[in-house]
Amino acid sequence: MLWKKLVQFGKGFFERKEESTYTDMPLGTAMHNIEITRGRGGQLARAAGAVAKLIAKEGKSATLRLPSGEVRLVSQNSLATVGQVGNVGVNQKSLGRAGSKCWLGKRPVVRGVVMNPVDHPHGGGEGKAPIGRKKPTTPWGYPALGRRTRKRKKYSDSFILRRRK
């Protein structure tokens, strides 16, 4: 006998499928692998342990709270998977030593301050010299740490109701 998987929210039930549209889901549903527009494939909340919440439905759009804290509008007929992505504690796991990171393909991270000036704008000097610039930069001389990189007039600005903190 084929049993349908039902998910209970308060007094109501809805059928749990691998993917479903927001019109089928009640408010407060946890979801991941979210399409922004129908047919484009999942683009939001895909990392390990990620989960987004459906907080409102109005007209043809639904409002979601994303893992970053951003609140944005998406098309109500696009698809999402109900539930949370697995492997929640992957970033809490201590690898213990450099060799364990090496097995995962992670290269050593060398600070710019300890490089030569030919290799990084922060490099050079005698001993533990400061950066020597007003603001930190990338190895290619672009501003780093705190500089906004999102375009000022991006088409999706109207869909973002509250920016991430």
| 122 domain residue, yes or no | no
Interatomic CA distance for residues 33 and 156, integer angstroms? 19
Longest dimension (CA), the chain: 77
Contact 98, 104 (CB under 8 A): no
User: In sequence order, what are the residues at sequence separation of 6 or more whose Cβ sits closer than 8 angstroms to the Cβ of residue 139?
Assistant: 112, 119, 120, 121
Residue 131, domain member (yes or no): no
Phi/psi for 20 (5° steps) reads -150, 165
- Does 12 map to a domain? yes
Torsion angle of C-alpha atoms 136, 141, 143, 145, degrees rounded to 10 = -50
| Residue 119: inside a domain | no
User: pLDDT per residue over 26-48, tens digit each?
Assistant: 999 999 999 998 999 999 999 99
- The domain that holds 25 is classified in CATH as 2.30.30.30
pLDDT score of 21: 86
Is 28 part of any domain?
yes
Q: Which of 124, 165, 119 is nearest to 140 (CA)?
A: 119
Q: What is the pLDDT of residues 81-139, one digit of tens each?
A: 999 999 999 989 999 999 999 999 999 999 999 999 999 999 999 999 999 999 999 99
Is residue 22 assigned to a domain?
Answer: yes
User: What was the pLDDT predicted at 20?
Assistant: 82
Has residue 6 got a pLDDT over 70?
no
Could you list the residue range(s) of the whole structural domain that residue 65 is in?
A: 6-88
pTM: 0.78
Does residue 152 lie within any of the structural domains? no
Exposure string of 51-68, with b = 16+ CB inside 10 Å and e = fewer, is ebbbeeeeeebbbbbbbe
125 part of a folded domain: no
Counting the structural domains of the chain, the total is 1
